[in-house]
A and B are shown apart, each in its own frame.
Chain A
Amino acid sequence: MRKLEFLLALALAGAMIAAAIAAPWLRFVLTIALAKGIAVMGILLLLRAGQVSFGHALYIAFGAYTVAFLAPRLNDAVLLLVVAAGGAALLGLVIGLFVTRYRQIFFGMLNLAMCMVFYSLLEKLYHITKGSDGIRVEIMPVAGQALDRIAYEWTIFGIALALAFALGALLRLYLVSPMGEALKGIKTRETRLEFMGVPARGVLLAAYVVSAGVGGIGGALIAMTSRHVTPLLSYWTASGELVFIAILGGAGGVLGPFLGAAAYELIRVYAAASFADAWQMILGTALLLVILFAPGGLWGMAARAIGGRSR
């Protein structure tokens, strides 16, 4: 099963690379999908604890705006990724300190509130953030190497893919570690955790900070790919999109977010291309079909198809 999951990940990566070579415009779409997949891994971590955050777009937007603001000064993609991840994790720690006191709908709504506060700040501080017009991000050197546009786009795609693998592997380890297993405890019965001497808030806070950090990385990658950031990144629909991807992909394994994000972006692109008026309906139908017929999401379906047990 573990081996199969790895092989499936390799196959998915191979398909993405093949598609990106064959159709240059898909490279852009798939880089965005990978970035969102990385961010959704954070949602998945919280879903393990039974908590749905409706505000994780906050960390994506924070990562993206970190890149937009610091790019002229730091001017290196690798450095900016580190700063964006660190900054988002720090912000996650501050916000996490009080949102992890709450559970269920209160947790979700408080996150949503934070995300909308950030959205309003981006809109209101017009002279700093340029409001809804947004800020342009120019092509930047990667690890000291100045690149032309095509090489840069490939490099960011490569970095996104490598980060997806590395972070996926790390998160997989985290989930089977005691800290990760304790998340499941929060979902089933939190009091039992406390009786065992495990601080539930600490466990959730740690997961929350990690999820904020990967959100920041996802946001930084989105900013480096679309090269224009707007406050819309932090709007509630963007948060909803992340939860949508998590459900579409399935919460069973770390591959789920990437399956979900790739499927989501491709469905959206093809739906928008074929039916410019009704793409929302097609996305909604896809999600309904998954909820009705494959509650484990795409990952659940894939796991069943390769004969393993799906969670």
Chain B
Amino acid sequence: MTATLTRREALAAGFGTVLLPATLSAQPAQRPAEFRIGVTTFLSGPASVFGVPSRRACEMLIEQINAAGGLAGVPVRAIFVDEGPGTDHLVGEIRRLVQAEGVHAVFQSISSGSCLACTPLSRELNKVMLLWDCGTQRIFEENRYDYAFRTQGYATPEVLAPLLYLLRKKPDIRTLAVVNQDYAWGRDSWEIWKTAMDALKPGVRVVAEMFPRFGSTDFSTEITRLLALRPDVVYSTSWGGELVTFIRQATERRLHERTTFVLPVAEASLQILGRNMPEGHIIGARGDHWNNHPAPANPELFRSFVSAYRQRFNEYPIYPCHHMAQAVWALKAAVEKAVATKSGGWPSDAELAAAFRGLTFPTPTSTITLREDGQGLEDQIVGMSHIDPNFGFAVPREMMRYSAAQVSAPVGQKSVDWLKTLTPAMVQQAGTAL
């Protein structure tokens, strides 16, 4: 009975704490005592392989920013929310973050489904939302948002760059098979690839389209089929544990010796694979932030970020860490820009959102511009896997950089329609060797 009483009391206390701050809303823009960011990321489930490292990166960067004096003098605090329980929970949590916790900006989310469900809330709640990791092209192609911005690249360039790289390095491919996870990203990334491939190199035969169940742990059926079909290329946008399992099972049966893998999301799995990752296969990082980047724009900053992360967590940062960092840096640049525009005054939500549009902010490797529709232009670097003894796992070599403007659909055009207009000449024109 005591246990039940305390729970009731706890609930009552919970009600109390919520009711108080909620009544304090709708004030004119004053310099806040602290700048609160609501961050949605996977803390449970299979995608926590991305969520947990990104959370660590976020906490580390916020500590660094606060140690250096905060955002335009205001200390920052992040409130993390688990994306794991699903959409209806997350939609409620975003409302709670804005209406009860009073966050000044929301960083959301890893899953495209979460982004599609939550981004319209930016319009209803009039709060700045930074889409820090999700890749779906549907967000800005099907809607226009005044308060939502994506501080990194998206599905179209992340798929198109590896395809251009493949066609440059192996112009004679004839057959291709796809092994993608059976959910929206797996299907979308295949549609983008297929449309672009048909435009850039018509006549490549697709010998198998396989969509194993999301969360599969056994790919023996797929591998057997691939061994029999002998495609020149196997394309897979799988990620996390599934990609690790697929590569391990495929290399055990020597699939990698007769076919080239193209793995646009491989970077996050390479440390786990270690030396099991075969060499000479095409790998992507959803951006340009490879740990062995030969010529980062700001080598000092790049090295300090990577080494600080390594020192604290004893592993190299993976791409979600860099994406989180980009969101933090974008926020810092936008707040400073907005404060400067108001000559020292604190910006309102609308003024802060206005500061993001057209913003160019520096990253350690390059700069990212948020274009007119809110989409960030992030360069893509693709390369061939190669085990580097300094790292102890595969990193790319023969790297090529594709500038974001080259491989992204222009503002106002749908990716699939734009990809149909590409011509084979693009293969030789796009990209520069690093």
Could you mark each residue 116-133 of chain B with 1 if its beta carbon is under 8 Å from any beta carbon of chain A, else 0?
Answer: 110010001000000000
Interface residues of B (CB under 8 A from A): 1, 3-4, 7, 10-11, 14-15, 18-19, 22-23, 43-44, 80-82, 85-89, 91-93, 95-96, 98-101, 111-113, 116-117, 120, 124, 136, 138, 182-184, 187-188, 214
User: Do B92 and A29 touch across chains, with their CB atoms under 8 A apart?
Assistant: yes
User: Do B22 and A22 touch across chains, with their CB atoms under 8 A apart?
Assistant: yes
A-B interface, 4 closest residue pairs, ranked by CB to CB distance from nearest: A228-B117, A25-B95, A133-B184, A25-B99
> Which segment of A41-49, A72-80, A104-112, A286-294 sits at the interface?
A286-294
Question: Considering only CB atoms, which chain A residue lies closest to B93 in the complex?
Answer: A272
Could you mark each residue 243-277 of chain A with 1 if its beta carbon is under 8 Å from any beta carbon of chain B, else 0?
Answer: 00000000000000000000100111110110011
The reply to whether the CB of A98 lies closer than 8 angstroms to some CB of chain B is no
19 additional contacts (CB under 8 A) given A230-B113, A266-B14: A22-B23, A25-B98, A28-B95, A32-B92, A132-B214, A133-B112, A134-B116, A136-B117, A149-B124, A226-B87, A228-B91, A228-B116, A229-B87, A269-B92, A272-B82, A273-B81, A276-B81, A289-B4, A289-B7
CB neighbours (8 Å) of B182 from chain A are 123-124
Interchain nearest-CB distance for A17 vs B (Å): 13
Could you mark each residue 118-161 of chain A with 1 if its beta carbon is under 8 Å from any beta carbon of chain B, else 0?
Answer: 00000110100011111010000000000001000000000000
The B interface is mostly helix, strand or loop, or mixed, namely helix
CB neighbours (8 Å) of A19 from chain B are 15, 19
- Given contact pairs A126-B184, A132-B183, A230-B117, A293 touches B3 in the complex (Cβ within 8 A): yes
Question: Considering only CB atoms, which chain A residue lies closest to B121 in the complex?
Answer: A227
- Given contact pairs A25-B95, A133-B113, A32 touches B22 in the complex (Cβ within 8 A): no
The reply to whether the CB of A163 lies closer than 8 angstroms to some CB of chain B is no
Interchain nearest-CB distance for B103 vs A (Å): 12
Interchain nearest-CB distance for A35 vs B (Å): 9
Most buried by B among A130, A229, A267, A276: A276
In the complex, A26 Cα to B92 Cα: how many Å? 8
Interchain nearest-CB distance for B378 vs A (Å): 22
* A-B residue pairs in contact (CB < 8 Å), sample of 24: A22-B18, A22-B19, A23-B22, A24-B22, A25-B22, A25-B96, A25-B98, A28-B91, A123-B183, A126-B187, A133-B136, A133-B188, A136-B116, A149-B124, A226-B87, A226-B117, A227-B91, A233-B86, A268-B89, A269-B92, A269-B96, A270-B11, A272-B85, A279-B85
Interchain nearest-CB distance for A249 vs B (Å): 14
Question: Considering only CB atoms, which chain B residue lies closest to A15 in the complex?
Answer: B15
Interchain nearest-CB distance for A286 vs B (Å): 7
The reply to whether the CB of A188 lies closer than 8 angstroms to some CB of chain B is no
In the complex, A32 Cα to B98 Cα: how many Å? 18
- Given contact pairs A24-B95, A272-B82, A123 touches B88 in the complex (Cβ within 8 A): no
User: Do A276 and B43 touch across chains, with their CB atoms under 8 A apart?
Assistant: yes
In the complex, A227 Cα to B15 Cα: how many Å? 25
CB neighbours (8 Å) of B3 from chain A are 289, 293
In the complex, A303 Cα to B22 Cα: how many Å? 33
In the complex, A238 Cα to B85 Cα: how many Å? 10
Question: Considering only CB atoms, which chain B residue lies closest to A30 in the complex?
Answer: B92
CB neighbours (8 Å) of A279 from chain B are 82, 85
In the complex, A122 Cα to B11 Cα: how many Å? 37
The reply to whether the CB of A280 lies closer than 8 angstroms to some CB of chain B is yes
Interchain nearest-CB distance for B106 vs A (Å): 13
In the complex, A117 Cα to B179 Cα: how many Å? 22
The reply to whether the CB of A232 lies closer than 8 angstroms to some CB of chain B is yes
The reply to whether the CB of A222 lies closer than 8 angstroms to some CB of chain B is yes
Question: Considering only CB atoms, which chain A residue lies closest to B19 in the complex?
Answer: A22
CB neighbours (8 Å) of B43 from chain A are 276-277
Interchain nearest-CB distance for A47 vs B (Å): 21
The reply to whether the CB of A193 lies closer than 8 angstroms to some CB of chain B is no
User: Do A132 and B4 touch across chains, with their CB atoms under 8 A apart?
Assistant: no
In the complex, A29 Cα to B43 Cα: how many Å? 21
In the complex, A229 Cα to B184 Cα: how many Å? 14
Most buried by B among A22, A26, A294: A26
Q: Please tell me which one of the listed residues B18, B86, B92, B95 contacts residue A230 in the complex, with CB atoms under 8 A apart.
A: B86
Q: Please tell me which one of the listed residues B80, B82, B87 contacts residue A134 in the complex, with CB atoms under 8 A apart.
A: B87
Interchain nearest-CB distance for A192 vs B (Å): 37
User: Do B116 and A263 touch across chains, with their CB atoms under 8 A apart?
Assistant: no
CB neighbours (8 Å) of A294 from chain B are 4
CB neighbours (8 Å) of B188 from chain A are 133
CB neighbours (8 Å) of B113 from chain A are 132-134, 230, 232
In the complex, A269 Cα to B44 Cα: how many Å? 15
Q: Please tell me which one of the listed residues B11, B89, B99, B120 contacts residue A266 in the complex, with CB atoms under 8 A apart.
A: B11
User: Do A130 and B87 touch across chains, with their CB atoms under 8 A apart?
Assistant: no
The reply to whether the CB of A301 lies closer than 8 angstroms to some CB of chain B is yes
Question: Considering only CB atoms, which chain A residue lies closest to B1 in the complex?
Answer: A293
In the complex, A28 Cα to B23 Cα: how many Å? 17
Interchain nearest-CB distance for A218 vs B (Å): 12
User: Do A26 and B18 touch across chains, with their CB atoms under 8 A apart?
Assistant: yes
User: Do B93 and A269 touch across chains, with their CB atoms under 8 A apart?
Assistant: yes
In the complex, A269 Cα to B95 Cα: how many Å? 11
CB neighbours (8 Å) of B93 from chain A are 269, 272-273
User: Do B87 and A23 touch across chains, with their CB atoms under 8 A apart?
Assistant: no
Question: Considering only CB atoms, which chain B residue lies closest to A292 in the complex?
Answer: B3
User: Do A28 and B4 touch across chains, with their CB atoms under 8 A apart?
Assistant: no
User: Do B88 and A32 touch across chains, with their CB atoms under 8 A apart?
Assistant: yes
Interchain nearest-CB distance for A261 vs B (Å): 13
CB neighbours (8 Å) of B80 from chain A are 276
Most buried by A among B80, B117, B136: B117
Question: Considering only CB atoms, which chain A residue lies closest to B183 in the complex?
Answer: A132
Interchain nearest-CB distance for B101 vs A (Å): 8
In the complex, A273 Cα to B43 Cα: how many Å? 13
Q: Please tell me which one of the listed residues A228, A276, A280, A301 contacts residue B87 in the complex, with CB atoms under 8 A apart.
A: A228
Interchain nearest-CB distance for B39 vs A (Å): 9
CB neighbours (8 Å) of A133 from chain B are 112-113, 116, 136, 138, 184, 188
Could you mark each residue 180-212 of chain A with 1 if its beta carbon is under 8 Å from any beta carbon of chain B, else 0?
Answer: 000000000000000000000000000000000
- Given contact pairs A23-B100, A266-B14, A132 touches B91 in the complex (Cβ within 8 A): no
Question: Considering only CB atoms, which chain A residue lies closest to B181 in the complex?
Answer: A132
- Given contact pairs A228-B117, A286-B7, A131 touches B87 in the complex (Cβ within 8 A): no
In the complex, A269 Cα to B100 Cα: how many Å? 12
CB neighbours (8 Å) of B183 from chain A are 123, 131-132
In the complex, A268 Cα to B93 Cα: how many Å? 10
Q: Please tell me which one of the listed residues B44, B100, B120, B214 contacts residue A25 in the complex, with CB atoms under 8 A apart.
A: B100
Interchain nearest-CB distance for B416 vs A (Å): 13
CB neighbours (8 Å) of B4 from chain A are 289, 293-294, 301
Interchain nearest-CB distance for B91 vs A (Å): 5
